[in-house]
Structure 1
Amino acid sequence: MKKKIYYTLVILVLIYGGFSLYYRPYTIADNKMQLEESVVKIINRPVVITDKVEIKQELNLHNKKFVLFSYGNKLANVELIKGINKKYKIEGVELNDNYFQDDIRTTSDGKYLILVGKNYNSKIAYVRVLLDSNEYKINIPQQEYFITYCKVPMETERTFIGVGNLKIYNSQDVDITEEMNKILFK
């Protein structure tokens, strides 16, 4: 009888320990202020870059959250993953000097091409992307900052859009790639 109680206690402690280890990194609630504080902490490692970030756009896509934020006069984005406790942990942060960023990301529902950035003077209506011999047309929201996406096949091997494989168009279907490249990609 004592052995049963002992083994039961050991099993309960192991289960509790397992849950604790799983839940520990998933601490970010679906709360803008807490998210901003968490982003500031992570981007200031190992060198302090900023004491404040401003969230511009958020996209919830299945088990992931993609967030576009600014710090100073720069744009950056962060990818978070949702745990079974409905809280998030940061999977990665991209800091660069561009106003337009692209990535292929995997969620619980498949792969997606994610575009984030600034729609300078709302000139961009859509982009055409060539990715692994498939062409995608992605509408860009007519607002200052955006996060948009389209589903791509799971077999997609590339994780970014290569040079020359992205064309930017205005609302009159005119290719404005060269003009926008000077502004969006510093």
Structure 2
Amino acid sequence: MSDPYFFGYGSLVNTRSHSYPDPHPATLNGWRRAWVATPRSGTVLLTGVPAPDHRIDGLIAAVPNADWAALDARESGYARLPAQHAVEHAHPATPEIAVYAVQRETMRPRSTQVILLSYLDVVVQGFHDVFGEAGVQRFFETTDGWDTPILNDRANPRYPRHQQLSTQQTALVDGHLEALSAQMEERQEAPLPPKV
């Protein structure tokens, strides 16, 4: 039996943040992304949400020997759902594919929570590496919840898998946030980072 694959649409698109093999660009049909809050953290999570007639870019990669334990731990707070019927990819095989998503019943209002800029940086870097500037544009366009405040923690990153961005990638993030009139926050203390 061949290895199963996951579809990543956030930080998992950034192969610098994990070592799962055989990554391939892919598209998940019938979904959008959204920033959502859950009871477990003071920072919002990026999740996929079912949305007919929509599609999001991402990456598939193998889970060797179907050993999901490490990935399930990284994606704690998410449910692992079958997705191979909705994923388009150029992989020569037709592997089993799963996607992680926050379940609607665990979502909470985002009013007191923030997006970590160090996490967003990792996501955008991944999209830039795989899909270029057009892919970064599509990421912002196919993600909801940009009214959530963004905590500028670049100087002291709170996301455990943060990465160093190039000058171009930093400018891409900042330019898109400015175009969205995103609310930036500067503060010394922040909630624990998400584990995604």
* TM-score, shorter chain, exceeding 0.5: no
Larger relative strand fraction: 1
The higher relative CO (CA closer than 8 Å, separation ≥ 6) is in 2
Larger relative helix fraction: 2
Q: Give the TM-score normalised by structure 2.
A: 0.25
Q: Give the TM-score normalised by structure 1.
A: 0.26
